[in-house]
Structure 1
Amino acid sequence: MIAFAPGARVWLAGGVTDMRRGMPGLALMVQQGLKRDPHAGDVFVFRGRGGSLLKVLWHDGVGMSLYAKRLEKGRFIWPTPADGAVAVSAAQLGYLLDGIDWRNPRHTWRPQAAG
């Protein structure tokens, strides 16, 4: 995973986003739709209509970066449009990018004994 700045907040843009948008279009969406500064160092995550494609927009102080991830199977768990932009932790973003339900991650089975 990409190492974001320690104090960076992660925002999930509720609802669906047109995945044809690039950096300028998504940055404008952050500024006008989410009412946030796209150059402040926060991480903004957008999901497409099909639910299997994400785009992550981040400005590191030097330049803007745009990352994309597509799941081969399944869909990303996403907040509803009524929720608006939802703040999540970096750990929850890691779950999300792995296709795990970030709202309620579950531990896998662990052995009780070594032998």
Structure 2
Amino acid sequence: MIPVPTGARVWLATGYTDMRRGFPWLALQVQEVLRKGPLSGHLFVFRGRRSDLVKMIWHDGQGACLFTKRLERGRFIWPSVAGEAVTISPAQLSYLLSGIDWRNPARKPASDAGRIAAFTV
């Protein structure tokens, strides 16, 4: 998990983003489209068209950081509002990066498949 500092906010850029881009272009998007400061210490999250890839940019005070995560199965849950930014909590970011619906996380009952079985030889 990315250590989000106290007071920093997590912003989701709604809509789709070209995932071929790096930190400079994404920082420009933060500045021009989201009207936020890319070097503010806040974390900005972008999603690709297929919804299985996200990129996050963050300036930690020492330098620019670019994080990428691709889901092997499933898609990232994303707000449907286009052209705006949505703020979420660091806990919701953790759910999002795990592929869980961060808007309404539900606890599921434990199954036998998740239990550890003891085997004897």
Q: Which has the larger radius of gyration?
A: 2
**Matches of 1:82 and 1:63 in 2, distance apart?**
29
Q: How far does residue 47 in structure 1 lie from its aligned partner after superposition?
A: 0.2
Give the gaps of 5 or more residues in structure 1.
Answer: 111-115
1:24 maps to which residue? 24
1:76 maps to which residue? 76
2:114 maps to which residue? none
Structure 2 counterpart SS, 1:82: coil
**Matches of 2:81 and 2:24 in 1, distance apart?**
22
1:40 maps to which residue? 40
Structure 1 counterpart SS, 2:56: strand
What TM-score comes out, normalization by structure 2 length? 0.87
Structure 1 counterpart SS, 2:65: strand
Aligned length: 111
**1:80-99 equivalences in 2 (<5 Å):** 80-82=80-82, 84-99=84-99
Q: Which amino acid aligns with 1:13?
A: A
Deviations 1:3-38 (A, max 9, x none): 121111000000000001100000000000100000
What TM-score comes out, normalization by structure 1 length? 0.92
1:113 maps to which residue? none
**Matches of 1:101 and 1:4 in 2, distance apart?**
20
Deviations 1:45-90 (A, max 9, x none): 0000000000010011111100000000000001124371000000
What percentage of residue pairs aligned between the two structures are identical?
60
